[in-house]
């Protein structure tokens, strides 16, 4: 059979599937930028540039049981997450990054013909996983400040609606959805997935309300606040029946032992890590003020660890390219709903200094 023949056997709804445009890994830029790979400033994937707790490195260096599979039921991990969230372990499931739980929740609820309401622009993995399941995306536009239009969400509900996806703070815009708005949407009775990947930076959560609703689910991650993006550890808080189903459908060993050790150590070092979160929040405000001084950018207020900017003069793609050549990575967008914009992660003060200097240079060359 030719490869073309094999391709014809792929599920037809995937014919137009475009995949996810992931951030660039610094090592792939060796020789293409003006700085050494180790000096690249990575502000393109909302990672934590302070790194993880040093306790994680120490514990992983001597961990003796890499030859043993992790506990498929995540017993210890879910207990630790109970301690961190204050929500009983029966509500909690962990995953290989919260991306995996977006996928699993949608796989649990969505099949061909089912509708998923998505408040766009938002995190690309929502559309990715919906399309992978064969679901139909029903897109509800955010307003000019990227706030969620609750009435439009409610008006978009049809008999086929099986899920409403909400990110708060939203990626890439940094906007939060106020709790009363979330609850008004939850009160429709449709399953609602609230992605709180950046909650440690915003301080606003609905996780404590999950036990009161049958249709409210919350996702979290250790990628951002705890600096563990590379180890892939996320979790969700669900009604217990849904948690039971997610434990059933996940691959048995989806969270590896290194991630478990990293969570254990991070939670022992919580004051240190939350101190870093505080520093990032303070730096976010300084970065916002500095970006506002540039005539060609309009930064939007953010409750996360990144800042979204409309490009008022010039092209976002060119700004991204020029910054990349100087060794500073940011994300650019030029999509129907995200015309000419960049998203910049918040790093340490020295990263802000380097970025702002480079942006001023770019501005002078315009």
Ligand X SMILES: Cc1ncc(COP(=O)(O)O)c(C=O)c1O
Q: Is the Cβ of residue 261 or residue 358 nearer to ligand X in the bound state?
A: 261
Write out the binding residues for ligand X, residues 53-112 only, by CB under 6 A: 97-99
Name the residue number minimizing CB distance to ligand X.
Answer: 97
Enumerate the H helices of the chain as residue ranges.
3-7, 54-62, 75-85, 98-109, 124-133, 150-155, 179-186, 199-202, 240-249, 257-268, 270-292, 316-325, 349-365
Cα pseudo-dihedral 108, 78, 227, 266, rounded to 10: 180
Name which of 313, 327, 328, 329 is nearest 365 in CA terms: 313
Binding footprint of ligand X, residue count (CB under 6 A)? 13
Distance CA 203, CA 93 (A): 21
Identify whether the C-beta of residue 300 lies closer than 8 Å to the C-beta of residue 175. Answer: yes
At closest approach, how far in Å is the CB of 101 from ligand X?
Answer: 8
Burial pattern 31-44, b for ≥16 Cβ within 10 A else e, equals eebeeeeeebbbbb
Distance CA 340, CA 316 (A): 5
| Residue 197 is a binding residue for ligand X (CB under 6 A) | yes
Site track for ligand X across 112-151, x = CB under 6 A: -----------x----------------------------
At closest approach, how far in Å is the CB of 167 from ligand X?
Answer: 4
At closest approach, how far in Å is the CB of 22 from ligand X?
Answer: 10
Chain-centroid distance, C-alpha 12:
28
Q: Is the Cβ of residue 221 or residue 352 nearer to ligand X in the bound state?
A: 221
Site track for ligand X across 6-45, x = CB under 6 A: ----------------------------------------
At closest approach, how far in Å is the CB of 102 from ligand X?
Answer: 7
Distance CA 323, CA 334 (A): 17
At closest approach, how far in Å is the CB of 171 from ligand X?
Answer: 3
At closest approach, how far in Å is the CB of 298 from ligand X?
Answer: 21
Q: Is the Cβ of residue 219 or residue 358 nearer to ligand X in the bound state?
A: 219
Distance CA 147, CA 224 (A): 22
At closest approach, how far in Å is the CB of 234 from ligand X?
Answer: 4
Coil/strand/helix, residue 44: coil
Coil/strand/helix, residue 192: strand
Q: Is the Cβ of residue 195 or residue 283 nearer to ligand X in the bound state?
A: 195
Write out the binding residues for ligand X, residues 222-241 only, by CB under 6 A: 223, 229, 234
> Facing residues of 342 across strands?
309, 332
Interface pick for ligand X out of 221, 266, 302, 320 (rule CB under 6 A): 221
Interface pick for ligand X out of 33, 41, 46, 53 (rule CB under 6 A): 46
Interface pick for ligand X out of 167, 346, 354, 355 (rule CB under 6 A): 167
Distance CA 87, CA 211 (A): 8
Contact footprint for ligand X (CB under 6 A): 46, 97-99, 123, 167, 171, 195, 197, 221, 223, 229, 234
């Amino acid at each position: 059979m030719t490869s073309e023949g094999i391709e014809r056997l792929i599920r037809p709804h995937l014919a137009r599937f475009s995949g996810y445009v992931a951030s660039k890994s610094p090592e792939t830029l060796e020789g293409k930028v003006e700085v050494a790979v180790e000096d690249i400033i990575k502000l393109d994937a909302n990672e934590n540039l302070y790194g993880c707790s040093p306790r994680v490195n120490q514990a992983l260096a001597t961990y003796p049981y890499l030859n043993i599979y992790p506990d498929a039921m995540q017993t210890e991990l879910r207990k630790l997450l109970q301690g961190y969230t204050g929500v009983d372990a029966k509500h909690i499931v962990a995953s290989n990054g919260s991306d995996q739980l977006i996928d699993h929740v949608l796989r649990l609820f969505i099949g061909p013909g089912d509708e998923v309401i998505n408040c766009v622009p938002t995190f690309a993995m929502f559309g990715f996983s919906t399309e992978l399941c064969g679901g139909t995306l029903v897109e509800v536009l955010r307003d000019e400040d990227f706030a969620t239009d609750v009435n439009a969400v409610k008006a978009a509900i049809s008999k086929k609606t099986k899920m409403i996806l909400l990110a708060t703070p939203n990626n890439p815009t940094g906007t939060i959805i106020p709790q009363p708005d979330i609850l008004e949407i939850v009160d429709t009775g449709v399953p609602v997935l609230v992605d709180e990947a950046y909650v440690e930076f915003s301080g606003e959560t609905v996780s404590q309300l999950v036990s009161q609703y049958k249709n409210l689910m919350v996702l979290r991650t250790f990628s951002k606040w705890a600096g563990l993006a590379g180890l892939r550890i996320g979790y969700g808080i669900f009604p217990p029946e849904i948690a039971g189903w997610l434990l059933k459908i996940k691959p048995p060993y989806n969270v590896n032992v290194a991630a478990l050790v990293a969570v254990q150590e991070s939670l022992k070092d919580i004051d240190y890590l939350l101190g870093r979160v505080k520093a990032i929040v303070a730096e976010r405000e300084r970065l916002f003020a500095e970006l506002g001084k540039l005539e060609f950018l309009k930064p939007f207020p953010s409750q996360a660890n990144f800042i979204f900017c409309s490009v008022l003069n010039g092209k976002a793609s060119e700004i991204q390219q020029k910054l990349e050549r100087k060794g500073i990575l940011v994300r650019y967008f030029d999509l129907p709903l995200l015309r000419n914009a960049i998203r910049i992660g918040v790093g340490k003060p020295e990263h802000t200094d380097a970025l702002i200097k480079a942006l001023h240079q770019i501005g002078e060359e315009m």
